[in-house]
Amino acid sequence: MKNLKMDAILNVHNVSKTYQSGAKKLTVLHNINFTVEAGSIVAIVGPSGSGKTTLLGLCAGLDRASTGAIEFSKMRLDDRSEDERAFIRNRYIGFIFQNFQLIPTLTALENVMVPLELQGEKNIRPRAIALLEKVGLADRIHHYPAQLSGGEQQRVSIARAFSTRPEILFADEPTGNLDDETSAKIVSLLFELNREAGTTLIIVTHNSELAESTQRIIRLKGGHIIADEPASNATLGV
């Protein structure tokens, strides 16, 4: 019997992105095409300046493509207003960032509760506490970001990202600010939670070990896809 997870959740068709800088135009992405199946784990890799983060922002509806189309869960993002795209992000999309993006004046618990409050969810405190317990921060829920290590802040970020049960999760260099030992723990935790939730996961990373632990690697160079292939060591991500 076919699994519904094999349906495409993200379609990127002939997408280019050009920025205007004075009289000059800079094209950072050129005719990008790929499809992501629901429930899959994909890495986007490439040298600095290759367009990875720009592509992630377009796929997440944070920015608009200059040409081409991006379709998320059969909804074309290019045709949506700013408010409509914001609603889609809040309802269906999760984010994990390299610099954590926690609100410094809120505790770990409050940071995890914020996206749930924005969705108008009820009885959110128990869910937020359960997620922080799951990421190993049961004794740190009332600490502020400045009182947490980098690894602990990223754990809070992961708990926050999964709190709304997103259909797709975008992680931009999730281990970029962490040492090797902490990175390995964060990767293991990220994949464990992802397996439980069945979320589609797209990771931008310079970490080759992390990329090889996903199911598929899309390689960018100079704004072009130069390779799109199964990962050779997909042990954690499956």
Q: Model confidence over 6-17: pLDDT tens digits?
A: 589 999 999 999
Q: Is the pLDDT of residue 220 over 50?
A: yes
Tell me what pLDDT residue 237 has: 43
Q: Is the pLDDT of residue 59 over 80?
A: yes
What's the CA gap between 91 and 39, in Å, rounded?
17
Tell me what pLDDT residue 20 has: 87
What percentage of the chain has pLDDT greater than the value 70? 95
Tell me what pLDDT residue 6 has: 59
More confident residue, 62 or 4: 62
What's the CA gap between 172 and 163, in Å, rounded?
18
Tell me what pLDDT residue 209 has: 87
Give the full edge-to-edge strand order of the sheet including 224-230: 93-97, 168-172, 200-204, 41-45, 216-221, 224-230
Give the mean model confidence (pLDDT) for residues 78-94.
Answer: 89
Q: Is the pLDDT of residue 5 over 60?
A: no
Give the mean model confidence (pLDDT) for residues 198-222.
Answer: 93
Give the mean model confidence (pLDDT) for residues 44-48.
Answer: 93
Q: Is the pLDDT of residue 3 over 90?
A: no
Q: Model confidence over 190-207: pLDDT tens digits?
A: 999 888 899 999 999 988
Report how far apart the first and last C-alpha atoms of the chain are (Å, whole number): 19
**DSSP type of residue 65:** -
What's the CA gap between 28 and 223, in Å, rounded?
5
Cα 40 to Cα 4, 171, 197, 202, distances in angstroms: 12, 14, 12, 8
Q: Is the pLDDT of residue 2 over 60?
A: no
- Poorest-pLDDT segment among 3-12, 17-26, 43-52, 97-106: 3-12
The encoded tokens of residue 94 equal 């999760």
The encoded tokens of residue 158 equal 């992961």
Q: Model confidence over 131-181: pLDDT tens digits?
A: 999 999 999 999 999 999 999 999 999 999 999 999 999 999 998 888 888
Which residue ranges form the domains of the chain, and what is each CATH number? 38-63+83-230 (3.40.50.300)
